[in-house]
Amino acid sequence: MKFYIDTADIEEIRAANSRGWVDGVTTNPTLVAKTGRKHEDVIKDICREVNGLISAEVLSTEANAMVKEGYELAKIHDNIVVKIPMSEDGLIAVKKLASEGIKTNVTLVFSPIQALMVAKAGATLCSPFVGRLDDIGYSGMNLISQIIQIYKNYDLPTQVLVASIRHPIHVLDAAMTGAHIVTIPYKVMQQLVNHPLTDKGIAQFLVDAQKVPQ
């Protein structure tokens, strides 16, 4: 399973990349707004930092305008994936961009049938949001299993990118479903490394090392 980092913060991306945790990056307008910088500048910086797919989201909601924005974003770097919100206009834009060899990621997917439509439009990536579904009392991970089953049933090439990750169990469950990619906030990536028994073990080794004759 590939790990993408879910952030537009270049320092977080650098830190995660130096630890070998970054196969790609996802951004969205909320994450870019937190940087206080221009969208294009942020995306260019990320492209310089990471050798992997980088999702950059369009702001338009009408198909032709999304396609136009998609062209501009795709010009930035070969690794750019144009991120498009789920809607009929969004799928028109996906089909057009895909027919021209431009990679797309459909975001804000909350049902297995939406995911089927995403694949039929020819998207490279489909981003179902597990955390936001859990938040309202539904099972985000059940959605992932259903999408993976549907894509397998029909050999659909669209990859499942598990998004809206809140904690390490989401990452574990995503891996158990066989999802292609999971996009993870930096804080959750750090949580994946730690275990109290590891810390206890290291502390004990240091104590015991003092007893070894010099």
Distance, CA of 189 to CA of 187 (rounded, Å): 5
- Residue closer to ligand E4P (CB basis): 28 or 114: 28
* Residue 168 in the binding site for ligand E4P (CB under 6 A): no
- Residue closer to ligand E4P (CB basis): 56 or 121: 56
Give φ, ψ of 11 to 5 degrees. Answer: -65, -40
* Residue 158 in the binding site for ligand E4P (CB under 6 A): no
- Please pick, from the candidates 46, 126, 163, 179, the single residue that binds ligand E4P as defined by CB under 6 A: 163
- Please choose, out of 110-118, 126-134, 174-182, 195-203, the segment that lies near ligand E4P by the rule CB under 6 A: 126-134
Q: In a 3-state reduction of DSSP, which class is residue 11?
A: helix
* Residue 23 in the binding site for ligand E4P (CB under 6 A): no
- Please pick, from the candidates 104, 127, 146, 159, the single residue that binds ligand E4P as defined by CB under 6 A: 127
**Secondary structure (H, E, C), 169-181:** HHHHHHHHHCCCE
- Residue closer to ligand E4P (CB basis): 8 or 148: 8
Distance, CA of 5 to CA of 55 (rounded, Å): 10
Residue 10 buriedness (CB in 10 A; 0-12 / 13-18 / 19+): middle
* Residue 164 in the binding site for ligand E4P (CB under 6 A): yes
Active-site amino acid positions: 83
Distance, CA of 43 to CA of 10 (rounded, Å): 10
- Residue closer to ligand E4P (CB basis): 122 or 131: 131
* Residue 7 in the binding site for ligand E4P (CB under 6 A): no
The sign of the CA dihedral 77, 83, 89, 93 is positive
Residues that bind ligand E4P (CB under 6 A): 6, 26, 28, 107, 127, 129, 131-132, 163-164, 183
